[in-house]
A and B are shown apart, each in its own frame.
Chain A
Amino acid sequence: MITQTADWFDERLGIAKWTRKSLNKIFPDHWSFMLGEIAMYSFVILLFTGVFLTFFFVPSSKDVIYNGSYAPLRGHSVSEAFASTLDLSFSVRAGLVMRQMHHWAANVFVAAIVVHVCRIFFTGAFRKPREINWLIGTGLLVLAIVNGFLGYSLPDDLISGTGIRIAFSIVLSVPVVGSYIAFFLFGGNFPGNAIIPRFYTLHILVIPGLIIGLLTAHLAIMWHQKHTQFKGKGKSNRNVVGVAMWPAYAFQAGGFFFLTAAVIAALGGLVQINPIWLYGQYVPYKVSYAVQPDWYMGWLDGAMRLMPSWEIQAFGHMIPTVFFPAVLLPGITFTVLGLWPFIEKKITKDDLEHNILDNPRDVPWRTALGVGVLTFYVVLFFASSTDVLANSYSLSLNFVLWGFRILVFVVPPIAAIVAFKVSAEASEVPSTGKRKRAVAIMRSDVGEFYTEDIEPRSPAHEESIEELPEEIHYHLLKANGRELVTSSGGSIGQSDSLRLDSDTDAGSRQIPGVQIVDHGFFGRKGSTGGRSKRNIIGRKRR
């Protein structure tokens, strides 16, 4: 029946070959390659929960008298945005869990992106040919952060409203054009009535659209260029060793989606987040204690707290203090982040194409740099909690502030140096990162101690290759090391599904150039039985 359906579509769309190729596409298998997926799946959850929220949220700053389920605020004058969020939380069936899932998914989304970026950075996956994808990814990170900010500002509560106030000031601080942009964005002076509806449009339409677009491009490029892989037996810069899309990878990915959804659902259902009813409606004259943004903006907040209040006169304009930590710093951050592949290329003078990933310990300088920079932002993140720390530990605020000012310059270099040393040393130890085997310490009859493996090394454990049932092996003979030309000339994108047996190195079989091809599940029953001219494969070139 499946064959019949497939044939029906193929006769109308001609997609059989492409489908077979796609379903046989090989994905390298490593846990760290799943981090980006967490981001993608949480984005999907954001879309689903977000749609639900749009059914009930009213993006309006008009004042209404709240008369809903939450008694302490009854009779208070609040904005419609705030009131509708309260209704979502207390009156709409499943409203609170959807709100919380949405908010948790947003935090997980940004966190997953950051962790994914770290993985890409530390393994050098941004190198040629993946610079474009890195740029797209940087863009996605910025959009995710911005959309998160917009999203948690929508309920118009005291804490997020303070954040909007800060954002207004940040925009104002841009020299020359700042006030124009700020007033343009807000439709007048702060706070006005326009900002919440505008945030709404941006948050549900513009930025998600951009994200979807960029995400699609991100995945398409990755699909086209093939995923990178760590070095190992049978893997080279010119092949991909891993599991096939169908059935292994599809179920792995699909299962992981449900796992991510489950965790986010658990968080949303069990862990309170953003209880706006405790904060109250935003009023400009109320600024509270313990007002911190969501975690991904923490570094900005920390930077602003630590910046000494220096105002600089330059080129006839006064540049406010806020400009440096809140405009200049993020500007430099994301610029350098985006341009990093090119910067590294300049440093290392490495123009080669890299499809094999670096083990972070083998590139100590890059690891150290990354750790140092990350530590810098982590210290800034903690610095956003100066008032809470001072209060909790009965310390003077001044002490905490100055402490962080010193730490932010002292800790990153130390972290970088330690990371460098540890990486360099670890890379010399052959057993680092390898699965630890149980050894027995034996005593010889003269009293010397030596070790013996208890567990035998089985070749199957070393490889991450999945053996699919009912393989079909095609042995192609090659004469004199000449490559066979494929129907499409052997360019990237054609028949890339190469599977190698566990004991085979690429090209290390008795007959040079012979490769074993596994067409997987669909190859067997394809209309050509896997033997048509369309899928004879020669030496695979990327």
Chain B
Amino acid sequence: MTIAAESKTIEHGGASHNGEPTGMYKWLTSTDHKVIGKSYMYTSLVFLLIAGSMAMIIRAQLMSPNGHVVSQQMYNELFTIHGSIMLYLFAGPFAFGGFANFILPLQIGAPDMAFPRLNALSYWLYLTGGTTMLLGFFTAGGAAAFGWVAYAPLSSYTNAPGPGPDLWIIAIALTGFSGIFTAVNLVTTAFYLRAPGLTMFRMPIFTWSMVVTGMLILIAFPILTAAMIMLYCDRHLGTHFFTVSGGGSPVMWQNLFWFFGHPEVYILALPYFGMVSEIVPVFSRKPVFGYKGLVFATLAIAALSTGVWAHHMYTTGTVLLPFFSALSLLIAVPTGIKVFTWIGTMWGGNISFKTPMLFVIGFIVTFVMGGMTGVMLASPPIDFAVHDTYFVVAHFHQVLAGTAIFAGFAGFYYWYPKLTGRMLRESLGKLQFWMAFIAFNLTFIPQYLAGLRGMPRRVPVYLVQDHVTFLNQLSSVGAFVTFLSFVVWLVNLWVSWKKPIAAGDNPWDGHTLEWGTSSPPPHHNFTSLPPIRSQRPVWDANHPEHADHLNHELPKKEAIRR
């Protein structure tokens, strides 16, 4: 069922939109949020595959205790750039640059973003920054090799000479600005360009998540950029921010970095939570359970995340442990609220397990697992035992990669019809899901055990006596199969392109405004808007007898009993 109402003939005063650019010219010059969003998505998926390949090399090296797949120096570069790409160039841009750009204006009934040209600039900065980071491999000294966290003094010029680290710093500065500009754009768009009737508390949760993420970016990224500039000055301009001999403090780098670093992981996670909050209601045929609670939980997560950074530094001995452990433990509460909300949404629903919903379930399982180990890590004594071991690696992969991969693909399968007007194949999607789900957990659950046995992170070799060989092998096999699941996904894309199945406006019976326009949407997004009287305008229009706004007119008890 679609919304498409016949629009009145409008006198087009002024320029018409028939002379729209096509082809390469379009991709190079467009300021349309849909084009830019797609550019972000394609580019970030390429980076995913590049960083994923690096991960395959890492896992191949770790299959035997004394692996010789790459040199130790190259191994260090690989895990540094793998982490940096996944965090700066894939997870963020995919959700925030890609999906937010494409979907958010549609969900609020806006014709485009508030600052279309700034949007285009953001994309090109991102592409430039991403390329710069990879260029480090072509220098004689190689790329940065000090871990994505670049702790001082390991990142100083004496310990990390050459242009590779400098290119890494510049790349992060560029992508940082890209993110900041997109955040400004998104927040302004969400505040000012909503369609009539769309109050703040009728915005979809996806939109809420993006707004909150945007504000977090504005808090966190400038600190990162400043820290990077300080590092660059230390490296080349003779300053002593982070060197002891000059009166500086290496621990200050950790504080600055993690003040950015912790909000960063929520910047990465919240958009995907938003996606999940869109998919669960649609596939359960019910509204979001506890909408206001979800909104406040999102805000609480964002607020708390700015106060927990030193939980990455428990073992430095310079941290006020009770404060940070209290807040870090507390942040589990709003996150738990989110999980229970999603389950509550499913409760009493009529759930269809198409591919997006499968990925959502996979996400919830993986994320809860990772979240529980996160609670353990929030406790300093336990952190002392497992800090900087594979326990932490497994934890953050389950939460971060679990989120970005599972919730990310859930979103991809969900919105692909809207972006392209075609459907992806269900069979291949289900195959991809089961491969990924089993393999992903096979990759990381052994890593928990390996970490508990004492295997530190960022090591290219280990000892036979460590008794972690078998665990590593399990993990590597899981990693290879996970990578193969991406190949299945690529096949799915290719098949959908060669033998398209038309999607129509609203293949999933979606609730929010983006499903009220064509797939893909026309220029300036809408030829008509349904009346917006609740959080689910398209649902209300398609299912008038179950419309939300009707519910609100009756007293609460009556509504539930209906």
Asked if chains A and B are in direct contact (CB within 8 A), the reply is yes
Given A394-B140, A394-B141, A421-B25, check contact A448 B526 (CB 8 Å). yes
Question: Interface segment, B9-17, B321-329, B437-445?
Answer: B9-17
The docked-state distance in angstroms from the alpha carbon of A441 to that of B526 is 12
The docked-state distance in angstroms from the alpha carbon of A395 to that of B112 is 46
The docked-state distance in angstroms from the alpha carbon of A440 to that of B23 is 26
The docked-state distance in angstroms from the alpha carbon of A448 to that of B7 is 7
Q: Is A426's CB under 8 angstroms from B529's CB?
A: no
Q: Does A444 contact B (CB under 8 A)?
A: yes
The docked-state distance in angstroms from the alpha carbon of A441 to that of B10 is 13
Q: Does A428 contact B (CB under 8 A)?
A: yes
Q: Is B528's CB under 8 angstroms from A448's CB?
A: yes
Chain A proximity of B34: nearest CB distance (Å):
13
Which residue of chain B has the shortest Cβ distance to A419 in the bound complex? Answer: B24
The docked-state distance in angstroms from the alpha carbon of A428 to that of B19 is 7
Which residue of chain A has the shortest Cβ distance to B12 in the bound complex? Answer: A450
The docked-state distance in angstroms from the alpha carbon of A112 to that of B26 is 32
Q: Is A447's CB under 8 angstroms from B528's CB?
A: yes
Select B528's contact among A431, A441, A446, beta carbons within 8 Å: A446
Give every chain B residue within 8 A of A395 (Cβ-Cβ): 138-140
Chain B 9-44: CB-based contact to A (< 8 A → 1; otherwise 0): 010111101011111111010000000000000000
Chain B proximity of A19: nearest CB distance (Å):
47
Which residue of chain B has the shortest Cβ distance to A427 in the bound complex? Answer: B25
Q: Does B525 contact A (CB under 8 A)?
A: yes
Which among A422, A441, A448, A452 has the greatest number of chain B C-beta atoms within 10 A?
A448
Q: Is B15's CB under 8 angstroms from A437's CB?
A: yes
Q: Is A447's CB under 8 angstroms from B524's CB?
A: no
Q: Is A446's CB under 8 angstroms from B24's CB?
A: no
Select A446's contact among B7, B12, B22, B162, beta carbons within 8 Å: B7
Q: Does A439 contact B (CB under 8 A)?
A: yes
Q: Is A449's CB under 8 angstroms from B139's CB?
A: no
A395-412 residues with Cβ-Cβ distance < 8 A to B are 395-396
Q: Is A428's CB under 8 angstroms from B22's CB?
A: yes
Q: Is A452's CB under 8 angstroms from B525's CB?
A: no
Q: Does A72 contact B (CB under 8 A)?
A: no
Which residue of chain A has the shortest Cβ distance to B25 in the bound complex? Answer: A425
The docked-state distance in angstroms from the alpha carbon of A428 to that of B424 is 33
The docked-state distance in angstroms from the alpha carbon of A452 to that of B10 is 11
Q: Does A184 contact B (CB under 8 A)?
A: no
The docked-state distance in angstroms from the alpha carbon of A321 to that of B152 is 52
The docked-state distance in angstroms from the alpha carbon of A395 to that of B139 is 6
**Interface size of B as a range:** 35 or more
Q: Does A459 contact B (CB under 8 A)?
A: no
Chain B 146-169: CB-based contact to A (< 8 A → 1; otherwise 0): 000000000000000011000000
Select B13's contact among A421, A432, A448, A453, beta carbons within 8 Å: A453
Q: Is B14's CB under 8 angstroms from A451's CB?
A: yes
Q: Is B25's CB under 8 angstroms from A449's CB?
A: no
The docked-state distance in angstroms from the alpha carbon of A393 to that of B162 is 8
Q: Does A307 contact B (CB under 8 A)?
A: no
Select B527's contact among A396, A428, A448, A453, beta carbons within 8 Å: A448
Chain A 445-482: CB-based contact to B (< 8 A → 1; otherwise 0): 01111111100000000000000000000000000000
Q: Does A418 contact B (CB under 8 A)?
A: yes
A65-97 residues with Cβ-Cβ distance < 8 A to B are none
Q: Does A489 contact B (CB under 8 A)?
A: no
Given A425-B26, A429-B25, check contact A394 B526 (CB 8 Å). no
Which residue of chain A has the shortest Cβ distance to B112 in the bound complex? Answer: A441
Select B17's contact among A424, A451, A453, beta carbons within 8 Å: A451
The docked-state distance in angstroms from the alpha carbon of A418 to that of B23 is 11
Which residue of chain A has the shortest Cβ distance to B527 in the bound complex? Answer: A448
Q: Does B382 contact A (CB under 8 A)?
A: no
Q: Does B195 contact A (CB under 8 A)?
A: yes
Given A421-B24, A425-B23, A441-B524, check contact A394 B14 (CB 8 Å). no
Q: Is B195's CB under 8 angstroms from A447's CB?
A: yes
Chain A proximity of B400: nearest CB distance (Å):
34
Given A428-B19, A448-B526, check contact A396 B25 (CB 8 Å). no
The docked-state distance in angstroms from the alpha carbon of A393 to that of B167 is 11
Q: Is A450's CB under 8 angstroms from B163's CB?
A: no
Give every chain A residue within 8 A of B163 (Cβ-Cβ): 393-394
Chain A 114-128: CB-based contact to B (< 8 A → 1; otherwise 0): 000000000000000
Q: Does B109 contact A (CB under 8 A)?
A: yes
Q: Does B5 contact A (CB under 8 A)?
A: yes
The docked-state distance in angstroms from the alpha carbon of A172 to that of B16 is 65
Q: Does B504 contact A (CB under 8 A)?
A: no
**Interface size of A as a range:** 20 to 34
Q: Does A430 contact B (CB under 8 A)?
A: yes
The docked-state distance in angstroms from the alpha carbon of A297 to that of B457 is 54
Given A394-B139, A441-B111, check contact A450 B22 (CB 8 Å). no
Select B21's contact among A394, A426, A444, A452, beta carbons within 8 Å: A426
Which residue of chain B has the shortest Cβ distance to A446 in the bound complex? Answer: B528
Give every chain A residue within 8 A of B20 (Cβ-Cβ): 429
Which residue of chain A has the shortest Cβ distance to B525 in the bound complex? Answer: A449
Q: Does B499 contact A (CB under 8 A)?
A: no
The docked-state distance in angstroms from the alpha carbon of A316 to that of B525 is 74
Q: Does B8 contact A (CB under 8 A)?
A: yes
Select A447's contact among B19, B24, B526, beta carbons within 8 Å: B526
B244-273 residues with Cβ-Cβ distance < 8 A to A are none
Given A395-B140, A439-B14, A446-B7, check contact A418 B24 (CB 8 Å). yes
Select B19's contact among A424, A429, A448, A450, beta carbons within 8 Å: A429
Give every chain A residue within 8 A of B12 (Cβ-Cβ): 450-451
Which among B14, B22, B111, B141 has the greatest number of chain A C-beta atoms within 10 A?
B14
Q: Is A449's CB under 8 angstroms from B526's CB?
A: yes
Q: Is B140's CB under 8 angstroms from A453's CB?
A: no
Chain B 294-333: CB-based contact to A (< 8 A → 1; otherwise 0): 0000000000000000000000000000000000000000
Give every chain A residue within 8 A of B162 (Cβ-Cβ): 394
Which residue of chain A has the shortest Cβ distance to B18 in the bound complex? Answer: A430
Q: Is A452's CB under 8 angstroms from B25's CB?
A: no
The docked-state distance in angstroms from the alpha carbon of A422 to that of B29 is 10
Give every chain B residue within 8 A of A424 (Cβ-Cβ): 23
The docked-state distance in angstroms from the alpha carbon of A541 to that of B159 is 77
Give every chain B residue within 8 A of A450 (Cβ-Cβ): 10, 12-13, 524
Q: Is B10's CB under 8 angstroms from A430's CB?
A: no
Which among B5, B141, B529 has the greatest number of chain A C-beta atoms within 10 A?
B529
Q: Is B15's CB under 8 angstroms from A431's CB?
A: yes
Which residue of chain A has the shortest Cβ distance to B523 in the bound complex? Answer: A449
Which residue of chain A has the shortest Cβ distance to B23 in the bound complex? Answer: A425
Give every chain A residue within 8 A of B13 (Cβ-Cβ): 450, 452-453
Q: Is B24's CB under 8 angstroms from A453's CB?
A: no
Which residue of chain B has the shortest Cβ distance to A434 in the bound complex? Answer: B15
The docked-state distance in angstroms from the alpha carbon of A429 to that of B10 is 23
Given A395-B139, A396-B140, A444-B8, check contact A421 B23 (CB 8 Å). yes
Which residue of chain B has the shortest Cβ distance to A425 in the bound complex? Answer: B25
A351-410 residues with Cβ-Cβ distance < 8 A to B are 393-396
Given A394-B163, A395-B140, check contact A449 B24 (CB 8 Å). no
Select A430's contact among B19, B25, B195, B528, beta carbons within 8 Å: B19
Which among A393, A430, A444, A449 has the greatest number of chain B C-beta atoms within 10 A?
A449
Q: Pull 28 A–B residue pairs with CB atoms less than 8 Å apart, ordered by A.
A: A393-B139, A393-B140, A394-B139, A394-B140, A394-B141, A394-B163, A395-B138, A395-B139, A396-B140, A422-B25, A424-B23, A425-B22, A429-B20, A429-B25, A430-B19, A431-B19, A432-B21, A443-B111, A446-B527, A447-B527, A447-B529, A448-B526, A448-B528, A450-B13, A451-B14, A451-B17, A452-B14, A453-B15
The 4 closest A-B pairs by CB, nearest first: A447-B529, A425-B25, A453-B14, A394-B140
B residues apposed to A, CB below 8 Å = 5, 7-8, 10, 12-15, 17, 19-26, 28, 109, 111-112, 138-141, 162-163, 195, 524-530
Q: A393-B140, A422-B24 are in contact. List 12 more A-B contacts (CB 8 A).
A: A394-B139, A425-B24, A425-B25, A428-B21, A431-B15, A441-B524, A446-B7, A446-B528, A448-B7, A448-B527, A450-B13, A453-B15
A residues apposed to B, CB below 8 Å = 393-396, 418, 421-422, 424-426, 428-432, 437, 439, 441, 443-444, 446-453
